[in-house]
Amino acid sequence: MGNKQTTFTEEQLEAYQDCTFFTRKEILRLHARYRELAPHLVPLDYTNNPDIKVPMTLIVTMPELKENPFRERIVETFSEDGQGNLSFSDFIDMFSALCEASPRELKTIYAFKIYDFNRDNFICKEDLEKTLNKLTKGELTPEEVTLVCDKAIEEADLDGDNKLSFADFENMISKAPDFLRYRHLFCYVFIF
């Protein structure tokens, strides 16, 4: 922990610890990871909160996200500008939400956002089709895709508007068996 003075002030670390699910060590490690992505861009000294953003193309090369079919969406969702450029705060926010310790409610909220491709606050058929094609790499035939999307909406839609609101989504997720929820809903990406 020799470099903590040079990277963050004590206050910053405290604040980050309060705002995320990470320990001081993990935060420093995350910063190192963040810096690894763009060493020329990210300074070591973060005491004065520099306004620096790392573009999405670099973020998605991280081993935690590299294979994820939704990596672009995840990064976009957590970026302040919606374009996928992450400042360090966004970055640490993302990992905090993704980490093992974050509660299901929080994960559900973010998961909903991630699956809501067109950001209209509803997961509609279009979103579902995108999700499905990402998940199966487009291996299903169009009829199958339609069938699956229809069925998914039919199952989870409580109010009959043919799209999933957050309440529908939350209800559906909350009934999922634990192993699905914990392992597979948007859950802990390793960091270390």
Partner 1 sequence: RRGNRRQAGGRGGVKGRGRGKKPASDDDDDEDDEEEDEAPRGRRGANRKKLAKKRGGNDDEDESEDEPPKRKRGGAANKKKGGKAQDSDEEDSDVGKGKKGKKGGGKKGKKEEEEEETKGKKGDGKGKGKGKGKDDDKDKKKKKKKDSLKTPLNSLTEVEEKKKLIANIRNKPWRMQRRLKLLKEAQEFVDKFEGALGKGKGRKWYAYKVMMTKKWIKFQRDFENFRTACIPWERKIKEVESHFGSSVASYFIFLRWMYGMNLVLFGFTFGLVVIPEVLMGLPYGSIPRKTVPRAEQDTAQDYSVLMDFNGYCKYSVLFYGYYNDQRTVGVLKFRLPLSYLMVGIGTFGYSLMLVIRTMAKNADVGGGDGEDSDFTFAWKMFTSWDYLIGNAETADNKYASITTSFKESIVDEQENQKDENIHLRRFLRVLANFLITCSLGGSGYLIYFVVKRSQEFATRDDLSWYEKNEVIMIVMSLLGLVCPPLFETIAELEDYHPRIALKWQLGRIFALFLGNLYTFLFALFDEVNTKLEEEQSIKNASIWAMKEYYANYSRLMNDSEATPPPMDPADVIRGPCWETAVGIEFVKLTVSDIQVSYLTILIGDFARAVIVRFLNYCWCWDLEAGFPSYGEFDISGNVLGLVFNQGMIWMGAFYAPGLVGINVLRLLSSMYYQCWAVMATNVPHERVFKASKSNNFYMGLLLLVLFLSLLPVVYTIMTLPPSFDCGPFSGKDKMFDIIMETIDLDLPAFMGTLFSYAANPGLIIPAVLLMPLKKKINPVLSLSQTRHLLFELSIRGIPKLQHGAEEKDEDDVALASSNPNARGPVSRPPGPRGPGPGPGAGPGRGRGRGPPPR
For residues 125-164, which are near partner 1 according to CB under 8 A? 128, 131-132, 135-137, 139-140, 144, 147-148, 151-152, 155-156, 158-161
Ramachandran category for residue 125: left, alpha or beta (phi over 0 → left; psi -120 to 50 → alpha): alpha
Within positions 73 to 92, which residues make up the interface with partner 1, using CB under 8 A? 80-83, 89-90, 92
93 binds partner 1 (CB under 8 A): yes
Of 72 and 93, CB closest to partner 1: 93
Within positions 17 to 36, which residues make up the interface with partner 1, using CB under 8 A? 18-21
What's the burial of 38, exposed, middle or buried (CB within 10 Å: 0-12/13-18/19+)? middle
Instruction: Report DSSP letters for 4-38, one per residue.
Output: HHHH--HHHHHHHHHHSS--HHHHHHHHHHHHHH-
Among 30, 54, 98, 124, binds partner 1 (CB under 8 A): 98
Report the nearest approach of partner 1 to the CB of residue 89 (Å). Answer: 4
SS percent in the chain: helix, strand, coil, step 5: 55, 5, 40
Of 2 and 163, CB closest to partner 1: 163
Of 45 and 81, CB closest to partner 1: 81
